[in-house]
Structure 1
Amino acid sequence: MTDRAWAATRKGLFELRRRRTGWEIERLSFVADPVTMLLPPDAAGHMLAGLNLGHFGTKLHASDDAGQTWREVTAPSFPPQPADAAGPEWKLQQVFALERSGDAIWCGSVPGGLFVSRDLGESWQLDETLWRDPRREQWMGGGNPAPALHSICPHPTRPDELLVGVSCGGAWRTTDGGRTWGLRARGMRADFMPPDLAGDENSQDPHLIARCRAVPEVLWCQHHCGIYRSTDNGATWVQTQAQPSSFGFAVAAHPGDPDTAWFAPAIKDERRIPVDGALCVTRTRDGGRSFEALRTGLPQRHCYDLIYRHGLAVDDSGERLLMGSTTGGLWASGDAGDSWQTISSHLPPIYAVKFG
């Protein structure tokens, strides 16, 4: 079980350590700067953090000692934008996802670009095939003006294969390291689209996609319009229903059990608050046929916390969970979500939590 974790927030990166009495905040890096995403350290202690500094732009920092010290490295960048190019400006607005796969590090961005680094984040190359695909011009922002590539799901045994999720642009898969791509969202339905386009794979809004590492053919998706599961590596998706809500942004897939996943439900669209002002996590242990609402230790009255896409994480054991909210609540569970302990209720808004 992991004894170290991080919370990326609007006012810095908080490092957490698990002691005998529970999780404690040990270190704060990038004080008062918005940290939108992080890549936990590898065995050598190398990690990355993406910052969004507003007027000063999007920055990327690297650490070679597991977060004790940091240095700025070159952030991903887009090529010059042709005068007749459709869609949003070709400018990095946010580092939205960071994942390792073999000797590569992949970065997803706003707007919906995918970049790869093969030198530990010192330099980046845009995946030109996906970026130049004419179907990308149909992508649209899901709550933001520009599309967002937020989910990167590497295959654990095939380093050249990964599946990515885009809001709103569906799910895409490559099996050759990004040289070719194919849509992978059949079965998803977008009820915000006209009826004849609701099933269009390129119009879907997956909020987050997560893979079961032990059984990589199984993927879970928290979609804008419900919860989906695939058992054939994303070729087809089947919708399932949860109570008190199937809407949300976050999903965590159990690393070893393909039938178990966790979600953070909310009221959808313009409200985006917990149902009845009571925060809970829903868990399925039977592949989505049924769900439990896990509430012990979570606020149940006058709670208006929303859990962002990357605000829910599970460790390699499948027993420890971490959850952070838009209003600075941070909770941990050591029993697969049956009960929760408050780490803090007054952190800055939390964008992402990661075990490392």
Structure 2
Amino acid sequence: MDLQGNDSLNGTLDFTAYGGLSQVGKFFMVCAISIAMVCLGCAMEVAKIKAHIKNPKGVGIALVALYGVMPLTAFSLAKAFQLSEMAAVVVLICSCCPGGLLSNILSLAFSGDMNLSIVMTTCSTLLALGMMPLLLLVYCQSFEGLQEAVPYRDIVLSLLTILTPCGIGILLNHYRPQYSRNIRKAGLILSNTCFLVVVVLSVLENGEQTLSVLAPPMLAIALLMPMIGYTFGYLLSFHYRLTESQCRTVAMEAGCRNGQLCMVLVKNAFPREAVGPLFLFPVVYMLSQLSEALVLVLLFRTHRCWQQRNNKKGTYQVADPEIRQVGDQERAVK
């Protein structure tokens, strides 16, 4: 099969008319992912990684959800919605991407286990180098001609290039930990700014053709995948009796994907005539996973506030008779 732009989301769109990112857009894309990976590395600590490796239960469950449940989910949805080969491989690449900084931020919002979150992100990022090509090789066999068309070598080289800034961040955090916090704060702002510039330039360049990424099948997959990841991640953790905070942490790691990494991989690995505006699918996925996670965070915090209020009321109700009894005794003494 030759991916030269004649395939579509469902066989009706033509990508031959689509252009690629401008040189300015490519520059900002590289800056965004490089800065983001340095920030991710600055959040990783060798000592914590060693501690969780000695007790890998939580990390193991997260990796099963990341590289077991999610790629299978993406494959099933691609088959169910009858996506074209190019659209299917983009969805598969997105499902095989590791968690990013967003999963760590959401774990914090969920009052999760931050050490576990960071270690899971570390392990999934490092394992992506081998797991992503392997999973694509396995699942692409079910799509006619796609196995030969996927540029595995380019994907591996892109992963190696992208993981290098992450290694730099780890070294910075290990040898200059006093600078890590400031680097993460400034880096997140710069990375998100560059990412927004890439999205805006892409929309301006492709115009109305960008809306093809919002076709009903792609939009449905972008909405379903994160929630399936959150649900299965939590259920697996609960089944294996992790603590509540660890269950929430694994759920966030299972549902969140490093969208910036996915964008770079898709854009660099495939010819622009073949991928068209589909490389913007990770943006749709990122917005979906963020909005769904924020709803879950809101429900969680509302439930916690309601629970704390009830606990306080129960405490006051138990204490009231005792207080009255003490008061009566004091009055009797007087």
Name the TM tier (shorter chain): under 0.3
Structure with the greater alpha carbon radius of gyration: 2
TM-score (norm 2): 0.24
Bigger RCO (CA 8 Å, 6+ sep): 2
Greater helix fraction, Structure 1 or Structure 2: 2
TM-score of the two chains, using structure 1 as the length reference: 0.23
